[in-house]
Amino acid sequence: MKPIIPQQTPMVFDTFSTPVGTMIVVQDDEGIRYIDFQDCPTPLTPAQSWQRDSRACQSAREQLLAYFNRELTHFDLPLAPIGTEFQQRVWSVLAEVPFGTTITYGDMARQLHQPSASRAVGMANGRNPLSIVLPCHRVVGASRKLTGYRGGLPIKMALLKLEGLDIDSQHRITP
């Protein structure tokens, strides 16, 4: 993933191990810009100007690890994702999808009052810069089948199972 970062903004980052592999947190004075998987086909590469600062990223790391330990179901972090107006609207809907539940792309499009925009919703989810915290892993196809995920379907399945959801052999969420 090629990061979109405001010009002249000092960025700090940290990487840490999780049950689904190494993750990276990137933030500036505005808030967290990226939370991403490093063990995926297109990992986020830190820019040379970014400074590693584990203390500045400590809250995000602690909350993500608490999520993986099933001790946290809702994040309280200063988020500052960069995206288009439409992406921001999609991510706002995404932020409201509760732990342990799923939503379809079509349902999200209807919540945005754009019922024919399910593909655009899918594209916005694919550009979500805040994995797990903005839970695009909770978005499924109309048939309840798991669809693409930036971190890969094995990670999407692991996250949904961690949240207590059952997935059948066809990669569908079961009731």
CB atoms within 10 A of CB 151: 23
57-77: pLDDT as tens digits: 999 999 999 999 999 999 999
Residue 9: which pLDDT band, with cuts at 50, 70 and 90?
confident
pTM for this predicted structure? 0.91
Q: Please report the domains of the chain, with CATH numbers, ordered by start residue.
A: 12-68 (3.30.160.70), 85-174 (1.10.10.10)
Tokens of residue 48, six digits: 């040379």
Inter-CA distances, 40 with 66, 67, 115, 149, Å: 22, 20, 31, 10
140-172: pLDDT as tens digits: 999 999 988 888 899 999 999 999 999 999 999
Q: Look over the chain and give the mean of its residue pLDDT values, rounded to a whole number.
A: 93
Host H or E run for residue 88: helix 85-95
Contacts of 30 (CB under 8 A, 6+ apart): 6, 9, 78, 80
78 pLDDT more than 60: yes
Cβ(97)–Cβ(138) below 8 Å: yes
Catalytic residue, chosen from 93, 124, 136, 173, is 136
Whether 136 sits among the annotated catalytic residues: the reply is yes
